[in-house]
Amino acid sequence: MQPRAEMVHWFFGVGILFVALCLLCEAIVGTEVWRMRPWRAYLWPGLAFGLGVLLWPVMAFFTNSAIHMYAHGSWAEVLMLAGGSELALVRGRLTSPWWRLTWPLAFVVTGVAFIVHEQNSWLFARSAFLHHTLGWTFLAMAVFPLLLLWRPSSTALRAGLALMIVAVSVQLFADRDVAPVFGHLSSLAGEQHR
């Protein structure tokens, strides 16, 4: 019934990578070209909102500790808020650019939740290390949408944000071992532990 944690991490890794690639494309070709097909404007904000909705099942099904539940719940909420605000800005339902502050808010909440919900130290295990780096990546990433409020057309800032999100995606992929799902890829890895 409950999907494996590995699958869930990889699923969200794919989703976030897609968001990042859309942002990168938009940064490279410029917003005008990116939005030549109107639906593209809705693509990554809609995806972010959808990922937020899909985080609710993760919150509800993974209850092996209260703090995990709260972390997943907070990510679901801030991703829905930020994605939803961006969609509303694109659609014209919201007009104030200050609504884009929901992105730094989302990144800060996500980063703090990553760091606080990982109870082990940096070098305890790979996943612990990556949870810490993910947390700090999100905290650093919060600077980009903040600066974009003042320099909205800066290619460097937009590309930087996109690349930071790519980094998040890569870390999410690497956060879980392949062995529990596919077995060890090399016999040198020895006996499988779980």
Partner 1 sequence: MKALLVTLVVALAFPAVASAHATLRSTTPKFGTELQRGPQTIRLRFDQSVTLLPGAVRVLDGVGRDFAGPARVVGTDVVAKVRPLKLGAYTVRWRAVSADSHVVSGVWTFGVRGPAPAITAAYGAGGPTTLEHVVRWLWFLGLALTIGALGLRLIVLRGLAVPRALDRKIAVAAGGGAFVALQAGIGAFSLRSEDALQLPFGKFLYGDLSPMAETRFGRAFIAMTLAFALVLAFVYLAWLLDRVEPLVPAFAIALVFVGGLSVSGHDAVDPGSSWKTELADWVHIGAASLWIGGLATMAGLVWFGAPELRRAMFTRFSQMATVLIALVLGAGTYLAIVRLPHLHDLWSAGYGRVLLVKLGLVNFALLWGAFHKFVIGPALERADEGFLSRIGRSLAGESIVGVAVLLAAAVLVDSKPPPRPGPTQNTAIVVHR
Regarding 146 and contact with partner 1 (CB under 8 A), the answer is no
Q: Which residues of 148-171 are buried (b: 16+ CB within 10 A; e: fewer)?
A: beeeeeeeebbbbbbbbbbbbbbb
With the C-alpha atoms ordered 9, 11, 15, 20, is the resulting torsion angle positive or negative?
positive
- Choose one: 73-81, 95-103, 141-149, 169-177; the region binding partner 1 (CB under 8 A): 73-81
Regarding 21 and contact with partner 1 (CB under 8 A), the answer is no
Query: CB of 106: closest distance to partner 1 in angstroms?
Result: 16
Residue located via tokens 């077995």: 183
Residues 6+ apart with CB under 8 A from 152: 97
CB 54 within 8 Å of CB 16:
no
Q: How many CA atoms lie within 13 A of 51 on its CB side?
A: 23
**What secondary structure letter does DSSP report for 3?**
P
Q: Looking at 56, 163, 167, 174, which residue binds partner 1 (CB under 8 A)?
A: 56
- Choose one: 22-30, 54-62, 97-105, 150-158; the region binding partner 1 (CB under 8 A): 54-62
Distance CA 82, CA 49 (A): 7
Regarding 118 and contact with partner 1 (CB under 8 A), the answer is yes
Q: Looking at 7, 33, 63, 151, which residue binds partner 1 (CB under 8 A)?
A: 63
Regarding 43 and contact with partner 1 (CB under 8 A), the answer is no
* Site residue total, partner 1 (CB under 8 A): 35
List of residues contacting partner 1 (CB under 8 A): 49, 53, 56-57, 59-61, 63-67, 69-70, 73, 76, 80, 84, 87-88, 91, 93, 112, 115-116, 118-122, 124, 128, 135, 139, 194
